Amino acid sequence: MKTIDDFNFEGKKALIRVDFNVPLDGDFNVTDTSRIDAAKPSILKVLEDGGSAILMSHMGRPKGKVNPDMSLSHITETVSDIIGVQVKFAEDCVGSKADEAVAGLQSGEVLLLENLRFHAEEEAGDESFAKELSKHGDVYVNDAFGTAHRAHASTTIVAKFFPENKCFGYLLAKEIKAIDKVMETGEKPVTAILGGAKVSSKITIIENILDKVDNLIIGGGMTYTFVKAKGGKVGDSICEDDKMTLALEILKQAEAKNVKVYLPVDVLAADDFDNGANTQFVDVDKIPDGWQGLDAGPKTLEIFKQVILASKTILWNGPVGVFEMENFAKGTIAVGNYIDEATQSGAFSLVGGGDSVAAVKQFGFEDKVSYVSTGGGAMLESLEGKTLPGIAAILG
């Protein structure tokens, strides 16, 4: 696996695919800089070697048309502040404006190209567009895990124009190693905690990880599909009736592979999907009509705690309750605390997937786990066992 450390960039231009698809407020201020922070080490490596960096990224979904609200010019100052170098901006990513800006770039300088998705050819994976992009650099560095699952011009196709001079940036290399640690080389026992609303969105992940894990903790909304499938009463809880047979099949597969599955035994139920609703703790299979389970209960959390603290490798994908509402966030916070404790005791913990990453950030667990993945869809596809095109393009 070639990484950025395998190259010396002295006198060279590095074409770096970053993921600067960051959230902006109404005044175009960046509200979360974590993706820019994550790209900083790779950019600095190029500059410290005596090279220059040409950064390319997308923002939003402009659908192949120029949309000033999604211009990367809005983030240039923030990127400059974070990297510590005044970043130059090119008003396009290909064509004369981009070519001139690249040609004038000196060693130690950074250039940010305009939004790749202002060109429909980017998402189409157009080869001639990728070739135009490739002319900007001597070495291609992919450091955008968040888009590695898409075969776009800048993430995948461009790599073929750098047969020998392509590599992973620090961030993407770390993502690959973190997932590999959970899926292939992790110290046992390995525990996966899967939450979220629907079984259907996690099916392929569950099927793929059953060969890799010792324990599977199931929480959140998909709990109730399993509980109802086993004959329990789930009241008005979210439930995918058409996935109940599948849920039973998963439990059967897990048993055949000696994977211990832990479902909640009690839940905090509410009489409305509202933070101010009336609540009561009930057995997970005896939820009254008109009530719905919205968080894990105390007996459940005690079981989860024992499993997590005995684990050496932990994957957390999805909250165990409706953490966006304060009264139903206690279970997710508790799981975060258990993972923190296990990590301090030497376990490796990987958090990935949109909602669990949001919860980790909201409750301050970012520095208390081993690794927080930056790629939602890319992370999920990796866990499903798929080879991501952006990764395959560097390895090939």
The answer on whether 328 is annotated among ligand-binding residues is no
pLDDT of residue 354: 63
The answer on whether 356 is annotated among ligand-binding residues is yes
Q: Report which secondary-structure segment, H or E, holds 134.
A: helix 127-134
The answer on whether 150 is annotated among ligand-binding residues is yes
The answer on whether 355 is annotated among ligand-binding residues is yes
pLDDT of residue 386: 84
Show me where the domains of the chain are located. 4-172, 186-383
Taking 70 as the pLDDT cut, the residues of the chain under it are 354
User: Which of 198, 230, 286, 299 is flagged as catalytic?
Assistant: 198
User: Which of 299, 354, 361, 386 is flagged as catalytic?
Assistant: 354
Q: Is 377 noted as a catalytic residue in this protein?
A: yes
The pTM assigned to this predicted structure is 0.86
The answer on whether 187 is annotated among ligand-binding residues is no
pLDDT of residue 379: 82
Of 71, 68, 65, the residue nearest 22 (C-alpha): 71
Q: What are phi and psi of 113, to 5 degrees?
A: -80, 155
Q: Is 385 noted as a catalytic residue in this protein?
A: no
Cis previous bond, 389, omega within 30:
no
| Digit-coded pLDDT (tens) for 373-382 | 877 778 888 8
User: Which of 13, 17, 35, 330 is flagged as catalytic?
Assistant: 35
4-172 and 186-383: identical CATH topology: yes
pLDDT of residue 2: 95
Residue with tokens 């993430």: 155
pLDDT of residue 64: 96
178 by DSSP, 3-state: which?
helix
User: Which of 64, 108, 377, 385 is flagged as catalytic?
Assistant: 377
Q: How far apart, in whole angstroms, are the C-alpha atoms of residue 328 and residue 325?
A: 6
CATH code for 186-383? 3.40.50.1260
- Fold of the CATH domain 4-172: Rossmann fold (3.40.50)
The answer on whether 297 is annotated among ligand-binding residues is no
> Which residue blocks in 275-375 are alpha helix, DSSP H?
298-309, 330-344, 354-362
Q: How far apart, in whole angstroms, are the C-alpha atoms of residue 290 and residue 188?
A: 42
